[in-house]
Structure 1
Amino acid sequence: MIEEFTIHKSPEEWASIHSKMIDSGWDDFTLERQGDLTVWLTHHQKDEYRDNWNRLAGEYRPKVKAYVSVLAKEQGINADLASYLEWDLLHLYIESYFQKFDGAPLFYIKHTAKLYSKNEIPCGWEGVYPNGQIVCQ
């Protein structure tokens, strides 16, 4: 999946993205979206959640970390911003597994996958979720 993304931004663009993520509370917002999925899974697919969430995270985390590490070195991304990117990309992978369940609240698949594939980085949400729209740069 991330192998398909060609992400390239200037140091100034990365600084702006990072600032927008901080100002918008992107970390809290995405933690809530991850929570939406885990709560749904515990109510609707408890065995799948129990058997696969940690396995998937363990499987994909090294791949995501390696990918973001290369981006960080090549494009001057600081460690804090790199952790935002790792979180987003890891959860995009995890959601790709759970998308087979109808009704699962899939924030990353629905809102971020296409952005990353177009070299756009999600960095906020305007409105009260699920209404509103994603902010990207």
Structure 2
Amino acid sequence: MNEVKDFYDNKISKIDFFSNCGDAINATFNVNVTQVRNWVDVEKKVNSTWDNVRLQIRNQLTSTLHENWREGYRQWNNITMEAKLLLKDGVLKNISTFIQENKLNNCIYESVEWDLLTAMMEYAYSTYVKPGFHTELLEIYNSGHIPCGWKGKWPQGSLLIF
């Protein structure tokens, strides 16, 4: 398994979160994207439907690990705790401050936390399962935007970003 600290240090800690929110999307991604207009739209789209899409995707990872690499999967909780601590003591502090200063709904913080944590888990288990959706979400964050929902029925449709 890969060390989540390395991934955090080399990838996540270097992201300039939200720096291009509201600007045109000048990057290409491995998923269709649709841009939303403003933070109000983000708050509306970060909802249970979006949560369910991301949960379904993460469940695919855990199911595959459980079925095929049970010994490695047994480390899930330990890796999760390490990843959560790295995030909490690192970038999530600045994200929390941004959310508060801009009077945004805390659901945005929770959504970002979920995405970052799951991207770290995809990285940790990438020797077993090819990283996927949440690693792609990390590229959206890295571009200065925020993924905030899904338009259409998964997996058809497009990722909503601001």
Gaps of 5+ in 1: none
Per-residue deviation, 1:96:
0.8
CA distance change for structure 1 residues 35 and 131 in 2, over 3 Å: closer, same or farther?
same
CA distance change for structure 1 residues 45 and 20 in 2, over 3 Å: closer, same or farther?
same
Letter aligned with residue 111 of structure 2: Y
Partner in structure 1 of residue 132 of structure 2? 106
CA contact (8 A) 1:121 1:136 kept: yes
Letter aligned with residue 68 of structure 2: H
CA RMSD after TM alignment: 2.3
Identity over aligned pairs, percent: 26
CA distance change for structure 1 residues 117 and 36 in 2, over 3 Å: closer, same or farther?
same
Per-residue deviation, 1:46:
1.1
Tell me if 1:29 matches 2:50: no
In 1, Cα distance between the equivalents of 2:67 and 2:40?
A: 40
CA contact (8 A) 1:69 1:82 kept: no
1:13-33: per-residue Cα shift (whole Å, max 9, x none)?
4433121112x7111111111
In 2, Cα distance between the equivalents of 1:121 and 1:8?
A: 6
Gaps of 5+ in 2: 1-10, 22-36
- TM (norm. structure 1) is 0.82
**Equivalent of 1:56 in 79, 100, 104:** 79
- TM (norm. structure 2) is 0.70
The 3-state SS of whatever aligns with 1:25 is: helix
**Equivalent of 1:92 in 116, 119, 125:** 119
The number of residue pairs the alignment matches comes to 132
After the TM superposition, list the runs of 4 or more consecutive aligned residues in structure 1 that deviate by more than 4 angstroms: none
